[in-house]
Amino acid sequence: MKEMEKVHAELAEYRKKAEEYLNSWKRTAADFENYKKRREKEDRELLQFAQEVTVVKILPTLESLEQALRHSPDDERYKEWSEGVVKIVQQLEKVLLEMGVEKIRTVGEKFDPRIHEAIDHVESDGETGTILEEIQSGYKLNHKVIRPAKVKVVKRLSS
């Protein structure tokens, strides 16, 4: 009988150790899953940050090209040059769109401090809080504002 009790005690001890090892393994597996999820999230955030930095650096080039087009001479000699710049702007806009960049709508829209920055308030008979003029374009990247639009906002005429 003593021998049987000893065997049962040993069996109980082995079961206890097996349970401890299994629980330890489960915790380690859960920790590893959490680590993988954390790494994936960090990788996504790093990619988004790198995209944002890249886009912010590209925007001034796009705006310079757009400004060059606004000031291009009407002379026929520069027509091909202007058409070339237009194509470059279109290609750049297409690439930015594919990256998730969108221009913030301004003129005629209601002022929204989350996406617009009021540079000036202009007295007008228009509706108060309506954007009258865009000073600098604003942009979103994947629905996140990376640069607010700088605008002039209507302020109701004083009576």
CATH of the domain at 127: 2.30.22.10
Domain check: are 106 and 95 in the same one? Answer: no
The pLDDT of residue 4 is 87
In this prediction, residue 2 carries a pLDDT of 87
Instruction: List the strands of the sheet with 139-141, edge to edge.
Output: 101-103, 139-141, 144-147
Token look-up 């604003």 returns: 138
Is the pTM for the entire model greater than 0.85?
no
Q: Mark whether 144 and 94 lie in a shared domain.
A: no
pLDDT tens track for 85-98: 999 999 999 999 99
Residues of the chain with pLDDT under 50: none
Q: Please indicate, yes or no, whether residues 123 and 156 belong to a single structural domain of this protein.
A: yes
- Asked which of 99, 127, 142 is the last residue of a domain, the reply is 99
Answer yes or no: do 19 and 76 share one domain: yes
Q: Are residues 68 and 138 in the same domain?
A: no
Q: Would you state the pLDDT for residue 121?
A: 92
* pLDDT given for residue 111 in this prediction: 95
Asked if residue 131 and residue 94 are part of one domain, the reply reads: no
- What is the spatial distance between Cα 78 and Cα 80, in angstroms, rounded to a whole number? 6
**Same structural domain for residues 49 and 124?**
no
Among 62, 83, 99, where does a domain finish? 99
The parent domain of residue 86 ranges over 1-99
Confidence (pLDDT) at 56 = 93
How much is the pLDDT for 41? 97
Looking at the structure of the chain, the number of domains it has is 2
Together in a domain, 20 and 88: yes
Q: Which of 142, 144, 45 is nearest to 96 (CA)?
A: 142
The reported pLDDT for the residue numbered 159 is 58
Separation CA 117–CA 153 (nearest Å): 9
What Cα–Cα distance (Å) separates residue 52 from each residue in 48, 102, 143, 144?
6, 12, 12, 10
Distance from the Cα of residue 158 to its chain's centroid: 40
Residues 92 and 144 in one domain: no
Q: Classify burial at 92, counting beta carbons within 10 Å of its beta carbon; exposed 0-12, middle 13-18, buried 19 or more.
A: middle
